[in-house]
Amino acid sequence: ELGVETGLLECLGHARRDLTLYGLDRNPEALTKCERLAAREGVEDIHWIQADLFDVESWIQTLPDTIPGVIYTIHLHEFMASGRENLVKLVQKLVQKLPNWRFVAIEQPRLEKEARELISPARWLYSHSNILIHHLIKNGRILSEGEWIEIFRDGGAAHIEVRPTGYLEYQAYVIHLGKGAGAL
C-alpha cells in the first residue's frame, strides 16, 4: 500500500494471512502507528518501508519482481501535489521494474457536467466538495477519469481497466504494468 494510514493494509493482513504485505510511507510516525494497529489486529508480518514514493530506486528492490503482485493506493490524487510529470515518471518506473504486477488506484474522479443529471444532488455536491477541499488545502488534485487514464498511458501502462466500486462514484483504476498484459 502506498500511504499507510488508511487501515486497509491491516484489514487485508487480518483477512489474508497468506499474503506478503508491504506498506510504504515517507512519514516514520505513520509507519510506527500503523505497525502498532496491525499488531493489535494480530497482524505482525507486514513489511514497513519508509521512503519517498517518487524515489523509486530507494524502495523498489524490497518488492519481489519475478512474481505477480499488486500495488494499491487511495491517495493518488494527493500524490498529484508533486505534479503530473512526477506521477507519469512513477508509472514509467513501475512498468519497467515490476512487469508482473498491477497498480490499483482507487479514486473519486472529477465528474463531468453531464453526470449532474445522472446522480443525486447530494452525491454531486459530495464529489465537488472533494475537489474544493483539495484545492483549498493544496495537497492534491482531483482529476477526471480521462485525465487519470492519460497519465497511466503516458507512463507506458500496457492495459488500463476502470472498475466501479459501488461507493460514491469512486473507481478502481487497474493498471497492468507488463507489456502486452491482458485484462485480469
Q: Beta strands of 79-142 (E only): which ranges?
A: 101-107
pLDDT at res. 139: 80
Q: Are 119 and 182 in contact (CB under 8 A)?
A: no
> What element of type H or E holds 14?
helix 8-15
Give the three-class secondary structure for 40.
Answer: helix
Pairing of strands 47-50, 22-25: parallel
Q: What is the pLDDT of residues 146-159, one digit of tens each?
A: 999 999 999 999 89
Intervals of the chain under pLDDT 70: 179-184
Question: Three cell numbers at 25?
Answer: 510511507
Q: Are 175 and 104 in contact (CB under 8 A)?
A: yes
Tell the burial category of 164 from Cβ atoms under 10 Å away from its Cβ (0-12, 13-18, 19+): exposed
Q: How far apart are CA 177 and CA 160, in angstroms?
A: 9
pLDDT at res. 13: 92
DSSP track, 126-157: HHHHHHHHHHHHTS-----HHHHHHHHHHTT-
pLDDT at res. 38: 93
Question: Tell me, what amino acid is at 167?
Answer: Y
